[in-house]
Structure 1
Amino acid sequence: METTRTTDLLNELSTDDSNIHFKSYITSHADDMSCDNLQDYFNLYFKDHPELLTADVIKRSNLDRGYAYQILNGRKPHPGKYKLVLLALCAGMNLKEIQRALTISGNAVLYPKFPQDAALIVCINQNCTSAFEVMNFFAENNLDFPE
């Protein structure tokens, strides 16, 4: 998700006429505003990536279909950390985007001092796009995937 840099937004609000143009500012930067729930966050992500099919992302994540749809439609606003990471990774999110999704969901971000989290960070940075690839990486490195 390409967003405008925060410093650029602050500069825009720091102009003398920012009070006059506030409504147009809000309208023109609607996509840059923070999402406060996973449903909106994923909706924006899928909007920016029209080539992604939700069913394909869920299939690659190897999550229970019902559970994944509950995350995406907002009925599961606080999913398990590692299930959310798998879903976001299979959607092609980068590390920054996944960390943001974790924060929105109330989960701890991936922490490089935890071996499983470090392994997931490597998988994300290597652009793994399926649970199969992630599980193989874990197996190759004698790690159990966290529940």
Structure 2
Amino acid sequence: MQKKPTDELNDLLENMKPDQLEAYFKDNEKYMADEKKAFYYYMKDVLDEKNIKLKDVYSFAGVTESYGSKIFTMEKHTKDRDLIIRFCIAGHFNWDETNRALKLYGLNELYAKDPRDAVLIVAINNRIYNLYDIDEMLLEHGLEKHTTE
């Protein structure tokens, strides 16, 4: 698949008039993200910015590369919100990036009034990206661990 940098598309849109939109969509159709791919493109863009490889994210999150890529491309859909959060932690996402990823995947964002989410938010905000350290924080507060092993 060909790829055009998002900032290049942003530049095109910056001074565009409404009557030019049709031509923009036609000219850039192959670069447009469909809803199913929006999550994948977002994750990939953030990981690329941080120089983190997808295979490392899968490994860190405790899934095989083949299963992880099916979740990322939404070929398979998971209801396991913790898995998406593990992907974000593995990718060193900040709180906003994590919430955006969850939202794009169709899951609830991290919620400050949920005790377990509150621990995850504090961990992410303090750049604690080790799942075992996060599990310890959760257990200290009588909450369910994030990892399954």
Alignment TM-score, normalising by the size of structure 1? 0.69
Residue in 2 that maps onto 1:57: 57
1:44 alignment partner in structure 2: 45
- Looking at structure 1, the residues matched to 42 and 77 of structure 2 have their Cα atoms a distance apart, in angstroms, of 11
- Return the structure number with greater relative CO, CA threshold 8 A, min gap 6: 1
Shift of 1:21: 6.8
Aligned to 1:72: 72
In the TM superposition, residue 78 of structure 1 has moved relative to its aligned partner by 4.5
Match of 1:130 in 2: 130
Q: Say how many residue pairs are matched.
A: 133
Cα distance 1:123–1:102, how it changes in 2: closer, same or farther (>3 A)? same
Could you say if the C-alpha distance between residues 67 and 134 of structure 1 is closer, same or farther in structure 2, counting changes exceeding 3 Å?
farther
Change in 2 beyond 3 A, CA 1:71/1:79: farther
Does the 8 A contact of 1:88 with 1:98 survive in 2? yes
Deviations 1:67-102 (A, max 9, x none): 323222332345421110111111011110110111
Q: 1:135 to 1:74 in 2, by over 3 A?
A: same
- Give the secondary structure class of the aligned counterpart of 1:129: coil
Aligned-partner residue type, residue 53 of structure 2: L
2:108 alignment counterpart: 108
Q: Contact between 1:95 and 1:124, CA under 8 Å: does it hold in 2?
A: yes
Q: TM-score by structure 2 length?
A: 0.68
Cα distance in structure 2, aligned partners of 1:76 and 1:109: 20
Q: Which runs of 4+ in 1 moved over 4 A?
A: 19-24
Give the conservation status (yes or no) of the 8 Å contact 2:33–2:41: no
Letter in 2 for 1:134: I
Q: Please provide the CA RMSD for this pair.
A: 3.4
| C-alpha distance in 2 between matches for 1:47 and 1:77 | 23
Cα–Cα, structure 1 residues 133 and 34, in superposed 2: closer, same or farther, change >3 Å?
Answer: farther
For structure 1, the 5+ residue unaligned runs are none
Unmatched 5+ stretches in structure 2: 1-5
Does the C-alpha gap of structure 1 residues 34 and 115 become closer, same or farther in structure 2, counting only changes over 3 Å?
farther
Bigger helix fraction: 2
